[in-house]
Amino acid sequence: MLAPFQYEFFRHGFLAALLVGALCGLVGVYVVLRRMSYIGHGLAHALFGGAVLSSVVHVNFYIGAGIWALVAASLIHLIAYRRLVGADAAIGVVTTSSFAIGVAIVSTYRRFTRNIEAALFGNILGITRADLLVIAVIALVVLVTILMIRRQLLFSTFDPEVAAAYGISTGWTDFYFVILLAVTVVASTKILGVTLVAAAIVIPPVIARYLTRSFHSLLVVSPLIGALCGGVGMLLSFYLDISSAAMIVLTSAALFLVVEINLLLRKGVAS
Amino acid sequence: MKSDHPHSKDPPKAQGSLHPHGLAESPAPGPREAPLLEVNHLTSRYGEVCALEDVSLRIWPGQFVAVIGPNGGGKTTLLRTMLGALRPHQGSVTLKGRPIRRDNLGKIGYVPQLEAIDWTFPITVEELLLMGLYRKNHWLRRIGKEDRKRLHQMMERLNLSGLGKRHIRELSGGQQQAAFLGRALMGEPDLILLDEPTAGLDIRSRDDVIHFLHEINHQGVAIVLTAHDLNWVAAHLPWVICLNRRVIAEGPPQQVLNPQVLQETYRGEMVVFQHDGMVMIGERPHFPASQA
C-alpha cells in the first residue's frame, strides 16, 4: 500500500490530488446548489485557450491561464448579470470561443503536443514542488475567502431575492464566487485537465448531499469526499496503471453509484 | 406558543370588533403618529407590462393589513417594492420618512411564498433562522452566545423547539411558515411582509399561522400580507387593501368587501353576505346563469 510513496513524483501527485479534491469539493457545494455546473464545465474549457497561449508566449501557466480564466469568468458574469441573454448562453459563447482560440493556436503551431495533452487530460505525475506550493496557496486563499463571505454566499444561494432585500449585494457575491471558481479551475487543470475538472467539482457535493441534510455539514463532508476520491484515485491509478485524472473521476463516480444504490435499496426496504 | 391567542382561554378584548381575533386592537390608520412605510405614486413595470400604476398607500406602526387582488394584480410586486428588492419605475417608497436603502433595510422582514422555496436545498431549521441575523453578523463576526440564546427563544416562541436540526422539508406546512417567519423576526423588524402565507395550507395550519401573526402584531410589529382566501381575510384581518394594478379600495373588511369593490378588483361577480357578525364571500354559481 505504501510502496508508491517511495517515489517523489507520486508523493507530489498524491498531495496535489488531496488538495485539489478538497478544493473542488468545497467550491462544488456552491456550484451544485446554485445550479452552476455548466459554468464549471465551461470555465474549464475556456481555460484551454489560456493554457495554449501561455505555452506559446512562454508565460507561466498559472499566470497566463489565471488571467485568461479571470477574464472569461468576468465576461460570463457581465453578460449573464445584464440579463441580455441567459447565463447558459453567455457561458456557451465565451467558453466555446475561448476553446476555439486554443484550437486555432494549436493548429497554427503544431509542435507542443505533450503540453496540449497535459492541458486536456491533466498530468498529475508531472507536478513539481512549485506546483504544489501554488495549489496550496490558491486552496488557502479560496478557503479563507469562502469563510469570510460564507453567510452572504449561503443566503444568496438559498434565497437570492430576500438576500438582496437584507442588504446583501448579490451581484458582487455572484461575481466573487465566479472568480473563486475560476481560480479553482486554474489550480485543478494541471492535475485533472480541462476535460475532467468539472467532474471533480460536481460529483463530491452530489454524493455529500445524500449523506447530510445540513448546509454546514455539507461544507465539511464534500471536501472530505473530494480529498478521499483524489487519494484513492491516485493509488488505484498507480496499481492499475491507468491515467490518474481519469481514475480520480472514476473513483468519485463509483462512490456516487454505491451511495445511490444504497439509497435505492433502503427506499425499497422502507416501502 | 405562549400567547393571548383569541382561541385560547383569555381572548383579547375585541372592543366592538366583529372579528374573532380582536381586530380592534390592531391599530387602524390615523393621524396620531407618522406612517411607518409610505408608498407614493408608485408605478412598476416588467418590460412593457405595467404591474402597478400610481399606487399610493401608508402603513402605520403596528398595523395589520391584507392586500387582496387577482393573480397578476401586482400584490407580489408591491411587497417586493416595499421590501426594496425591486426598484420602482416611478414614485417612491419610504420607511420612517427615509427612502428604502441598505442602511434601513434591516427594519423590514420578508416571508416569501413557500411554493417559491427550493425544498431540496440542504438547510436545517436552525440554519434558516440564523440567516435572519445576517444584518448583525455579516463578515467575520461569529454567531455568539447571545445569538444562540435568541435563536432558542425564537424557536420556543414559534413552537419549533427540538426541531432545530431537522431539514426544513421535514416540517409541517404551519411549521415551515413559522420557520420562515422566525427568520424574518430574528432581525427584529418593525414591519413584516408575507407573500401568501396561507397558500397550500390546511385549515389547522392556517389557524396556526394567524395565531403566530396576531401574537407578533400584538407585540407592535406591523404586518402586511397578501392572500387569496377572502373569507380568511374577512375573518382575521382588520384592514384590507384591494389591488388590481392600482388601489381599488382600502378599509376594514366590513366596508371594503362588498360586491361593487370585489367586482372592480377581480372583474368577477361575487356574493357577499353576513353570517354571525362576519363578512362571508362566495362565488356566484355559473350553472343557473348559463342555463337561464
CATH of the domain at B98: 3.40.50.300
Q: How confident is the model at residue A114 (pLDDT cuts 50, 70, 90)?
A: low
- Residue A189 located in a structural domain: yes
Nearest alpha-carbon partner for B185 in B122, B80, B111 = B111
Whether pLDDT at B222 is above 70: yes
pLDDT at B36: 92
- Residue B114 located in a structural domain: yes
pLDDT at B242: 95
Do B95 and B34 touch, CB atoms closer than 8 A? no
Q: What radius of gyration, in Å, describes the C-alpha atoms of chain B?
A: 19
- Residue A28 located in a structural domain: yes
Tell me the mean pLDDT in the region A5-17: 91
- Residue A222 located in a structural domain: no
- DSSP 3-state assignment of A240? helix
Q: How confident is the model at residue B165 (pLDDT cuts 50, 70, 90)?
A: very high
pLDDT at B129: 94
Dihedral angle over CA of B212, B218, B224, B229, nearest 10 = 50
The domain in which residue B262 lies consists of 23-120+189-291
- DSSP 3-state assignment of B273? strand
Gap between the Cα atoms of A22 and A16, Å rounded: 10
- Residue B64 located in a structural domain: yes
Q: How many domains does chain B have?
A: 1
Q: In what order do the strands lie in the sheet with B49-59?
A: B49-59, B37-46, B90-95, B98-99
Determine whether the interchain pair B105/A165 forms a contact, defined as Cβ–Cβ distance below 8 Å.
Answer: yes
Shortest Cα distance, chain A CAs vs residue B122, angstroms: 5
- Residue A116 located in a structural domain: yes
Instruction: Give phi and psi for B36, each to the nearest 5.
Output: -75, -45
- Residue A248 located in a structural domain: no
Determine whether the interchain pair A158/B131 forms a contact, defined as Cβ–Cβ distance below 8 Å.
Answer: yes
Tell me the mean pLDDT in the region B244-271: 89
Q: Of the candidates A148, A161, A216, which has its C-beta nearest B127's C-beta?
A: A216
Interface residue A158 vs chain B (CB under 8 A): yes
pLDDT at B67: 96
- Residue A5 located in a structural domain: no
Whether pLDDT at A236 is above 50: yes
Q: How confident is the model at residue B6 (pLDDT cuts 50, 70, 90)?
A: very low
- Which sign does the torsion angle of CA A232, A251, A183, A115 carry? positive
Length of chain B: 292
- Which sign does the torsion angle of CA B45, B51, B54, B58 carry? negative
Instruction: Give phi and psi for B193, each to the nearest 5.
Output: -110, 130
Shortest Cα distance, chain A CAs vs residue B270, angstroms: 35
Q: Spell out the residues 6+ positions from residue A265 whose beta carbon is closer than 8 angstroms to its own.
A: none
Q: Of the candidates B105, B122, B134, which has its C-beta nearest A218's C-beta?
A: B122
- Residue B107 located in a structural domain: yes
Tell me the mean pLDDT in the region A131-155: 91
B123, B125, B183: best to mutate for the A interface, most A CBs within 10 A: B123
- Which sign does the torsion angle of CA A83, A86, A87, A92 carry? negative
A146 to chain B: nearest residue by CA?
B139
pLDDT tens-digit readout, B49-102? 889 999 999 999 999 999 999 998 999 999 989 988 888 889 999 998 888 766
- Residue B233 located in a structural domain: yes
Q: Of the candidates B127, B135, B166, which has its C-beta nearest A215's C-beta?
A: B127
Determine whether the interchain pair A209/B122 forms a contact, defined as Cβ–Cβ distance below 8 Å.
Answer: yes
Interface residue B124 vs chain A (CB under 8 A): yes
- Residue B147 located in a structural domain: no
pLDDT at B135: 65
Dihedral angle over CA of A166, A169, A171, A172, nearest 10 = -150
- Residue B133 located in a structural domain: no
Q: Of the candidates B106, B123, B140, which has its C-beta nearest A148's C-beta?
A: B140
Q: What is the ipTM of this complex?
A: 0.78
Whether pLDDT at B286 is above 80: no
- Residue B183 located in a structural domain: no
Chain B residues in contact with A216 by the CB 8 A cut-off are 127
Do A50 and A98 touch, CB atoms closer than 8 A? yes
pLDDT tens-digit readout, A172-204? 888 889 899 999 998 998 888 887 888 999 999
Q: How confident is the model at residue B138 (pLDDT cuts 50, 70, 90)?
A: low
- Residue A269 located in a structural domain: no
Counted across chains A and B, CB pairs separated by less than 8 A come out at 72
Gap between the Cα atoms of B107 and B96, Å rounded: 10
Gap between the Cα atoms of A39 and A1, Å rounded: 37
Nearest alpha-carbon partner for A221 in A238, A209, A203 = A209
Q: Of the candidates A155, A161, A212, which has its C-beta nearest B122's C-beta?
A: A212
- DSSP 3-state assignment of B258? coil
Q: What's A108's domain CATH number?
A: 1.10.3470.10
Chain A residues in contact with B80 by the CB 8 A cut-off are 161, 165
Q: Spell out the residues 6+ positions from residue A139 whose beta carbon is closer than 8 angstroms to its own.
A: A19, A20, A22, A23, A187
B120, B134, B191: best to mutate for the A interface, most A CBs within 10 A: B134
Do A91 and A73 touch, CB atoms closer than 8 A? no
pLDDT at B3: 39
Q: How many domains does chain A have?
A: 1
Tell me the mean pLDDT in the region B150-168: 91
Gap between the Cα atoms of B130 and B142, Å rounded: 11
The domain in which residue A81 lies consists of 20-196
Q: How confident is the model at residue A94 (pLDDT cuts 50, 70, 90)?
A: confident
- DSSP 3-state assignment of B101? coil
Q: How confident is the model at residue A232 (pLDDT cuts 50, 70, 90)?
A: very high
Instruction: Please measure the distance between the N-terminal and C-terminal CA atoms of chain A and give it in whole angstroms.
Output: 42
Q: How confident is the model at residue A121 (pLDDT cuts 50, 70, 90)?
A: confident
A166, A207, A209, A213: best to mutate for the B interface, most B CBs within 10 A: A166
Q: Which residue's entry shows cell 420562515?
A: B180
Average pLDDT, chain A: 87
Flag the least confident range among A83-92, A124-133, B59-68, B219-228: A83-92
Shortest Cα distance, chain A CAs vs residue B50, angstroms: 20
Q: Spell out the residues 6+ positions from residue A156 whose beta carbon is closer than 8 angstroms to its own.
A: A163, A164, A168, A170, A173, A174
- Residue B100 located in a structural domain: yes
